[in-house]
Structures are given as structure tokens and as C-alpha cells.
Structure 1
Amino acid sequence: MSPDSVRLLNGSSLCSGRLEVKSNQRWSSVCEADFDQQDAEVVCRELGCGPPSVLQGALYGEVEAPVWSKEFQCGGHESALLDCRSSGSARNSCSPGKAVGLTCSESVRLVGGVSRCAGILEVKLGDWKPVFVPNWTLKEAAVICEHLDCGSAVSLRMITKSLARLPTKIKPECVRSFSALRECVTSVYSLNILDFTCSGQQEAELEQTETH
């Protein structure tokens, strides 16, 4: 199964948007009535994102593509949406605002800072793992900050820290194009991990100051 058989459009990141499914070289939207939480779990897993957090129509624009004609019947354990069974019933149209909009939790996060926009970079590969990257620049950091809706990259530094879990290594070229992160990682033995600050961190500090 090709990993590019599903996509989320018009969202703020790879992990959110209006769902489209590719079949016979054609992208189709999916009606809300034909899709449920278990189906959403499969899509998020296929995209390399965390579990679904929001499943709602009309969040990411109206339907522009043809509409998928059958109801998905996933068990929730499948690795790809097109591996799921689907019903034999056909549907020719989807009411405005009724196409599936999906938000999965992010596959990357910053932890240990004073807000979600600063801290040690971790990626979700089953469990959350810290990231070791020997040759990242602010260019790669900027992609992560934007993906987390945290503005631009302000600083990036390598820190040495004793870890309970082996860090994972991500190739810079994968981040620049935001390829599926799980296809770009290898485990390494290192005590050096990345500590980030995004511009959204400064905004969070300013908000805290104003509320006190």
C-alpha cells in the first residue's frame, strides 16, 4: 500500500485538514456519514501522526474533489485506510460542510520548556523519543516551529543530557520537505539532543506577563 493514498488538506500541518483518499489516480473527499473514529485512527497512523483529536466536517473548506462512494468499516488496527473493508453502498454526493475534517495529534513536540513552543525536540514513533541531529540549522528548526503553529525559529542548540531512552536521528532533508518522519529516522547512541526555541515561545511569555 502506497503511503500517499491519504492526505489532509487546508489544515495548519501535515496532521490536520480535509481528508482525501486516492484511488485509481484520483483524489476523493469522504462524507462524514461514511467515516468514524476507528477510521480516523487508521488515517492518523498512516500519516505518521498521533491519535485523532478532532473529527468534524466543514473545518477545512468545502468539497472540491469527487466524493468517495463507499462507507469505510475499519477495525482501528489497520495500517492503511485502503486496507479497511468498505460497504457496498454507493453515495453520489456529499452535502456542503459534510466532508470529513480531521485533526490528528502532532508527530513532533517540544518538551521541558516553559511553553509548548520551546524545549527538547521529540518525535512520536510508537513512544515519544528525543531527537539527535548533528547538522541541523535554523532552516530545519523553522519547519518544526511552523508545523507546531509556533511561529519562526529563534534559537537552536545542542545539549548533552543523560537519557532513559535512546534518541532517534532524523535526516535534515526529510524535515525540509516534511516527508513522513518515521521513514527518515534511525536509532543512535548519543547524549546530544536538540533544544529549540520558537517565536511562539516569546508570545507565550508575553501573555503570561500580561495576565499577572
Structure 2
Amino acid sequence: MKLKMKYILAVFFSLLFLLLSCKNDNEKRMVENKKEIQKREVIFKNIQKGWVLYDTPVTEAAEKSMASWNEWRMFLAELAQKPKKTIGAFQQKSKALSKKAMALNDNIPYEYNKPQIKSRISILITKVRLLDLFIHLDNIPDKKVTLLVSEINLELVSLQRQMDKIVEKSKIPIEEGESELRRMMDTARAIPNTPVIDPNIPRVE
């Protein structure tokens, strides 16, 4: 009888210990989940606050090129649509931006199809793809994401200023050089085409 009682008590205390352990584990898990949710909320708020991309052309050349360069116009339109509500929306947006950025290599207008433009597009694509990579990590580095957003803005400005430089450079021969070239051509026409006479050749009078 005593052995049976001891056995029952042992089983009872074992079950009690097991229940308490499960309860502690559940409480720990709930605390950890709560911390994880709070962490994700902080990350989301930081990204939402720092996600300010330049979606409007900052130079006249960049604005005019929207009419002839469809990929450029579509990329700026994608930049203009800011994600809302969830981190998943920002992840989808970064993926879409990555595709639109890579498309900038297609159908570059003739006047901009130059190494200095292509190199800036390449850097811009790299920054956008890095943004897409970091925002899809399990532990999202929100500071790195917001830093990349600011770097993308810098590359956008650099690309557009380069467009302006190319346009301004193309105007130089018309505005400044053409009049000089015409003057030189007119002077050349004014010089009479007089034959050179060799004094040693006897002249017939």
C-alpha cells in the first residue's frame, strides 16, 4: 500500500513538474514573440519613415526624356508609389523597383546612349538590387535599408545631372561655335583662287 502511494505521489509530482515546465516554456515563448513583434514594428516604422525616394525629375533634360524614354518614365512612376501598412508591401515594392531599374538599360535614347550615362545606370541598378536583397532578409537591417534609399536618391540626381550636361554640351556647336565656323568658311571663300606664277617662266606679252 505504501509503495502504491509513493508511486502515485511520484506520478503526481512528475505531472505537476511537467505542467509547470510547459507553462514556463509557453510564457517564455510568448515573451519572445512579443519582443519579436515589437522589434518588427520598430523596423517597419524606421523603414516607412526613411522611404523617401525622388520620384520627380530634378533637371529639365530628365523631365523631357520621359516622353521618349518609356523605361525611365515607368521607373519614376514606380518610385512615386510608396508602400503602406506592412513590411511585405515594402518587399514587393523593392522587387518591382529592381525590375524597373534593370529595364533602364533597354532602349536608352540615342543622345544618352553614352558610357557616362550607362555607368550611372549601372550604379543605380546595383543600389536598387541591394535594397531588394537587404529588405528580404529574415533580420532586416533597417538602418542599411534607409541608407540605401538615400544612396539611390544621390544616384538618381547624378544620372539626371549627367543628362543635363549632355544636352548642354550638344548645344555648344550651335550657340557658340557655329558662327565662328561660318566666319572661317566665308573667309576661305573670299580668298581669290589666283594661280601661282613662276617668275622663271618667260611671259608672252
> TM-score if structure 2 supplies the norm length?
0.23
Q: Which has the higher contact order (CA 8 A, sep 6+)?
A: 2
Greater percentage in helix: 2
Of structures 1 and 2, the larger Rg is shown by 2
